[in-house]
Amino acid sequence: MIAHEPDGPAGQVGVRLAERGFDVTTHVVTTDYDQPNTSAPFPAFDDYDVIAIMGSIRSLTNKAEIDSWVHDELELIRSSHAAGQPVLGVCFGGQLIAEALGGAVEQSPTTEIGWHEIRPTEGKTNPIGPGPWMEWHHDRIIAPPEAEVLAENDTSVQLFTIGSMVGTQFHPEVDLKHISDWLETADDEYLATYGQDRHAILAEVAEHEARNTKQCHAFVDWFLESTGAV
């Protein structure tokens, strides 16, 4: 697992991978929120059967604050793609896959925070269901030309595949502890800017947690089977 900050682990994605027999380890890229360019060197991706690249508070539209590590991560993704290694990218992780393989990331016209349904892209089948899935993003994915976009909403590409890689814009991994940890680093002014309240966010997570855990585990199963990881 690649976690870009301490509060960004794999959550229920990691739980399900462990249940499926994988030995889950986590590499934390940065540990000081005030020093985003101070990072730990990445492990060699080819040492792992599956890679999950999780979200981040950082943005690929501002590479200057993360240029000590982001270009290395993009190159690792390209190497994994060439090798046919199964990789799951969640939110920022999905954006990294898109940018590494010929797509792009841009600021989204709409910030999404909360639970939103996704729909199949025209002519495609959404293999993981409409959700609702948890969204928390300010940027959005422009899929690589060779990618197959499977699901979207009015704001963004939400699910795409390219080779043995899967990218999402939503967060399948969340549970109550996960969101509680995120909120520790989100001040009330930031939340109010986007019409959010921490107590309401936590109440919604509690409402969705059991259902989301089931759909996350089903999503991980689909990822493993569709990429040939199992």
Please identify which of the residues 5, 112, 135, 173 carries the catalytic annotation: 173
Let me know if 91 is a catalytic residue: yes
Q: Roughly how many angstroms between the first and final C-alpha of the chain, as a whole number?
A: 17
228 close to 185: Cβ distance less than 8 angstroms: no
Let me know if 117 is a catalytic residue: no
Please identify which of the residues 4, 116, 137, 171 carries the catalytic annotation: 171
**Local structure of residue 169 (DSSP, 8 states):** S
Please identify which of the residues 73, 91, 152, 216 carries the catalytic annotation: 91
3-state secondary structure of 73: helix
Q: Rounded to 5 degrees, what are φ and ψ at 123?
A: 85, 0
The DSSP result for 41-68, as a single string, is PPPPGGG-S-EEE---S--TT-GGGGTT
| Distance from C-alpha of 25 to C-alpha of 143, rounded to nearest angstrom | 28
Q: Rounded to 5 degrees, what are φ and ψ at 227?
A: -100, 0
Q: Rounded to 5 degrees, what are φ and ψ at 83?
A: -85, -5
Residue 221, burial from CB neighbour count under 10 angstroms (0-12, 13-18, 19+): middle
Catalytic annotation, residues: 91, 171, 173
